[in-house]
Every structure is written in C-alpha cells, then in structure tokens.
A and B are shown apart, each in its own frame.
Chain A
C-alpha cells in the first residue's frame, strides 16, 4: 500500500465517520431544530407550555378580525387538522394574507389563545406571474365546480 493510498483511506474514513456522527447528532436534536410547531403538535402537547415558542401554519380563510382598538388583530392558524386562535397587537407583514403561511412567536394562554409577540409571513417556493396564478386558480375552481356538478348529476340519477 502506497503512502498516498493510506492517506486517501484515512481522509475518506475520517469524512465518513464525521458524516455519520453529524447525522446521529442531528437526529438526536431533531426536536430542538424545528423553527415552529404546527397546531397539531401543539394540540398533542409537544410544544413547551411554560415558555414562548413559535407556531406555524396557514391563516384560516375568513378568520382575520381587527379589534375595535385598531392595532390588535385576531386570526386562526390552522394546519387543516387542528387550529389555534392567535391574538396579536402590531404591524402585520405585507405578505400576511388569509390562506397563506404564517409563523407567530408568543405564548399559549391557559384559555387556548396564542398571544403573539411577533408575526412573520412564510411564503412558498412558487414564483409565477399574476396571470398564471389567476389561471391556476380558475382551473382549480372549474375543476371543483365540475366535480360538484358531477356529484349532483349522480345524485339525481340515483333512483329514489
């Protein structure tokens, strides 16, 4: 075995061992590396209840309400399975929208309301011109519509 083969084996072995060690460490710290908890995780009591943490999910459609004082907003964060009402006094980011992603940091009250100190918008990795987005939305609606009418047709066809 030549010296350089020995060194190659040493370097390759070292990198492999390090890689495995890193994988094991990251696996062990899996729960500490999450940036936010989903409403389902909160419902399953996986989130800390005595200190502040972040929740993330979608802002539920039609849930955004501005309180009479003008600065406090109330909305519901959902992951389509569970949802959490959030109370926040402050300026919302531009991308904050019903049906879009959001990450809020704060504390969960005993009454189940999340009091947020900071609200951040989380956007997805899709980039397209507004026309394309409109077209996609229309296609989705049309499909939904046709499905609905098909179901109704079928319901009509079934003999009573």
Chain B
C-alpha cells in the first residue's frame, strides 16, 4: 500500500504526531546549538579585520536566514489554506508567525550590536536593514490582523492574503545587497560561488543554522498543538483527551 500522505493532514491525527516529534527536534536543537556555539567561540579563528567581534555572525546570520525562510514557509501554508481550505495549513501559518517575528527581531538586534563597533552606527536606513525591518512589521501585522478577527476562518483568510502580499519583500531583502549600494556587505555564501569565509567559520555557521532550524520546528509544533486544542475544543476527540488521565 502506498504511503498515505493525507493521514496527518487532519488536526486529530497530527496532534499526537506533533507531540512525538517535539522532543526529537528540541533535543537536536540543544545538541546542535551547543556544538555550533562551541565551534563559533572556541574553534573558529579570529577574523583578520574584525577581530573577535565578528563572532556575532554565528547568531546573526542564521537568525536572518530563518526570518526570511520562515516567512516563505508561512506564506506557503497560508496559500495552501486559502486554496485547499484545509484547517491544519492555516494553523501552521499562524503557528509560524511568532517564531518568524522572533528571528527577525534577533537578526535586527544582533545586527545593531554588530554595526556599532564595526561600522560605527547602531542603525542605517540602507536597503537591507530597512527591508528587514519591514519584514518584522509584516509578521507583527499578520499576528495583529489574525488576533483582531474573532471568526478563525475569516482570520485565516485575511491573514493569508497579507502573508502572500508580504512575500514579495523576501527576495527584496535577499537581493538588496546585490541590487543597490548598501552599508551592509554582500553575502558570504550564495549559490554558484564558493563561500568567502574560512572553513571552520563556515562550519560553525552551518551547524548553528541547523540548530535554529530544529528550534524553529520544535517551537512551531508546540504552538500548533495549542492552536489545535483551542480551535477544536468542541470536537469529541479533544473532549476525550480532556477526560483521559494524563
């Protein structure tokens, strides 16, 4: 028999699956995070021009990657929800937004901390930073819009449209350093070109990126479980869950 892909597309079957997956991703996040930080702070060499200050890259770059990637995934789930009218897709989009906003905030905050000693300013209105700030507002706008509409179905639809409209901002953030003169430097890692960093630095950054991935998946799954319980609270299986001994 072929694998039934739709088995886990209903909240009722996804709920226990998510519960089983969370510890796996959480443990992986902790282990990879510890290894990544160790490489970043103790193994990776000092940089030739920025000295030790460059080490914030291990926090900053993975956060910035996640902030853009999560937005695309969120917009993708929102589109699924809009097109197929599936409940779980919209719940996934809703669950991803706060994690995405957190990543965007982290990227902006660590970038600011990095900018002061290196560039000489906390903030500059260049294309990269401005578009990343717009991304933060998009996440906050998505959450606020969904929270302001009582009917979850309508909230999902309105949010999905906002998420899809905002998706044009992601390529703008990514390519801003290529298209315009910016204070922010270009990408050290891009497709079709060898990375312009020493290999241990690169390794540390990639391990940290994996750790962020695992954390974001675990956090989104935990949040989606709460959303499922909240929205399906009148369903028989949730009532059974409540009645069942923990």
Q: Does A8 contact B (CB under 8 A)?
A: yes
Q: Does A98 contact B (CB under 8 A)?
A: no
Q: Does B196 contact A (CB under 8 A)?
A: yes
Assess the B120–A121 pair: CB atoms within 8 A: yes
- Chain A residues within an 8 Å CB radius of B172: 22, 26
Assess the B181–A35 pair: CB atoms within 8 A: yes
Assess the A128–B168 pair: CB atoms within 8 A: no
Assess the A127–B196 pair: CB atoms within 8 A: yes
With beta carbons under 8 angstroms apart, the residue of B165, B168, B183, B187 that contacts A125 is B187
Q: How far does the Cβ of B192 sit from chain A's closest Cβ, in whole Å? A: 15
Q: How many residues of B contact A (CB 8 A)?
A: 40
Assess the B118–A15 pair: CB atoms within 8 A: no
Q: Does B164 contact A (CB under 8 A)?
A: yes
CB nearest to A133 among chain B residues: B48
Assess the A35–B50 pair: CB atoms within 8 A: no
Q: Does A14 contact B (CB under 8 A)?
A: yes
Tell me the residues in window 24-79 of chain B with beta carbons closer than 8 Å to chain A beta carbons.
45-50, 54, 57, 79
Q: Does A153 contact B (CB under 8 A)?
A: no
- Chain B residues within an 8 Å CB radius of A131: 45
With beta carbons under 8 angstroms apart, the residue of A8, A34, A95, A125 that contacts B119 is A95
Assess the B197–A127 pair: CB atoms within 8 A: yes
Interface of chain A, main secondary structure: mixed
CB nearest to B177 among chain A residues: A125
A106-118 toward B: CB 8 Å interface, digit per residue (1/0)? 0000000000001
CB nearest to B185 among chain A residues: A125
Q: How far does the Cβ of A26 sit from chain B's closest Cβ, in whole Å? A: 7
Assess the B188–A35 pair: CB atoms within 8 A: no
With beta carbons under 8 angstroms apart, the residue of B121, B125, B126, B188 that contacts A127 is B188
Interface size class of A (residues with CB under 8 A): 35 or more
Tell me the residues in window 113-140 of chain A with beta carbons closer than 8 Å to chain B beta carbons.
118-134
A4 to B89: give the CA distance in the assembly, Å.
14
Q: How far does the Cβ of A32 sit from chain B's closest Cβ, in whole Å? A: 10
Assess the A34–B57 pair: CB atoms within 8 A: no
Q: Does B180 contact A (CB under 8 A)?
A: yes
B8-25 toward A: CB 8 Å interface, digit per residue (1/0)? 000000000000000000
Assess the A119–B198 pair: CB atoms within 8 A: no
Q: How far does the Cβ of B141 sit from chain A's closest Cβ, in whole Å? A: 16
Assess the A15–B180 pair: CB atoms within 8 A: no
Assess the A132–B48 pair: CB atoms within 8 A: yes
A97 to B198: give the CA distance in the assembly, Å.
22
CB nearest to A6 among chain B residues: B83
User: Can you sample 28 A-B contacts with CB below 8 Å?
Assistant: A11-B83, A11-B164, A15-B167, A18-B164, A35-B183, A36-B181, A37-B181, A38-B181, A93-B118, A93-B119, A95-B49, A103-B183, A118-B120, A120-B121, A122-B185, A123-B49, A123-B50, A123-B118, A125-B186, A126-B188, A127-B50, A128-B197, A129-B46, A129-B198, A130-B46, A132-B198, A133-B48, A134-B48
Query: Which residues on A are within 8 Å of B, measured CB to CB?
Result: 4, 7-8, 11, 14-15, 18-19, 22, 26, 30, 33-38, 56, 92-97, 100, 103, 118-134
Additional 11 contacts, C-beta under 8 A, given A19-B168, A126-B188: A4-B85, A14-B164, A18-B165, A35-B127, A118-B121, A121-B118, A123-B50, A125-B185, A127-B201, A128-B197, A134-B48
